Structure 1
């Protein structure tokens, strides 16, 4: 597998004129419906070119993403038939989910995709999804896993419904870039798997304040 050149850039789509790099793991915080729709522009930008796009998340979110794509004029059925759009959910554990996504990425690379874009809406607390601690570790692992592919990963965080623990430890801490509105902040030291595991153990031992 060819390791991506991390000095190249691609259009972000969410913030006009902003580029991102292969290997970027980005947290996108949204609150209103139009902000959710704006997040989907990340995929619209990729499908306008030759990128392979992955819609990853719980069923309700995935359906919503596909509907926004249709409203944006994307022939969803057509790009799926062409093998340029994949819809994926979760396995029973974070590690199994990461393995499944890695397989999807590899198939896309083998098919000649120049870039892979994944838009994620993790099913925090959803039936059939890993528990919260496992998903926090999953997010930390994605940061390093994404760098092995010509891929950009954007994880959407609904600030209206998710807990502060998830937003801080899953959203802010484990991602190299955070986006809210037109604000983009770089985190030069995203939490490692070891640091995330240590944080989980500490909060479990200490319990709620």
Structure 2
């Protein structure tokens, strides 16, 4: 799989096992190269993923300790609700700090978006789509790769189709492809 700094990818999968199969090599490669790696996922799932990742890496637990896990309450749902502007402020601040310190030449982030399932309503979905479209600007502002992961068992076409359009690249069945339906931040209503 060919990924480059600035990539904003919508990964579609079914179930936690397939999610983990997709992002394990993504994070393993980054940790092996000493890159900053962040997994936005519920703490319990993040710890379990960190253990699975450790078993897949020659360096084991030592390298996996470098994987930061941030639960939705510390990221997407900081004040108990989703605010795309606040989330982008948090992400810009994290990137600025990460690269200003010179500790990494590339950052890798993956976000399990399952936290959003219970919030899906038209107004929320519109805000999430606007956020995803603007996240491309953030990812391109620093040397980083971002993967937004949507479980097809949790989200229907009414959510997935517009969200896919907010990502320049799509990852499906192990393949990352350019998205011919991509609508940039200025095109998303």
The TM-score, its normalising length taken from structure 1, stands at 0.72
Structure with the higher fraction of residues in helix conformation: 2
**Computing the radius of gyration over CA atoms, which structure comes out larger, 1 or 2?**
1
Aligned to 1:19: 2
Aligned to 2:62: 75
Asked if 2 retains the 8 angstrom alpha-carbon contact of 1:40 and 1:68, the reply is no
**Which of the pair has the greater relative contact order for Cα pairs under 8 Å at 6+ separation?**
2
The TM-score, its normalising length taken from structure 2, stands at 0.79
- Residue in structure 2 matching 1:99, options 74, 86, 89: 89
- Residue in structure 2 matching 1:121, options 112, 116, 129: 112
Q: Does 2:172 match 1:195?
A: no
Q: Does 2:161 match 1:176?
A: no
The CA deviation at 1:71 is 3.7
* Structure 2 Cα separation of the partners of residues 175 and 99 of structure 1: 19
* Structure 2 Cα separation of the partners of residues 173 and 46 of structure 1: 27
* Structure 1 Cα separation of the partners of residues 42 and 152 of structure 2: 16
Deviations 1:51-100 (A, max 9, x none): 101112445654453343344334377426xxxx3525213401101110
Structure 1 residues 26-105: aligned runs within 5 Å? 26-41=9-24, 42-59=26-43, 61-72=45-56, 73-75=60-62, 78-79=65-66, 85=68, 87=70, 89-90=75-76, 91=78, 92=81, 93-105=83-95
Aligned to 1:14: none
CA RMSD of aligned residues (A): 2.4
* Structure 2 Cα separation of the partners of residues 59 and 79 of structure 1: 15
* Structure 2 Cα separation of the partners of residues 19 and 195 of structure 1: 26
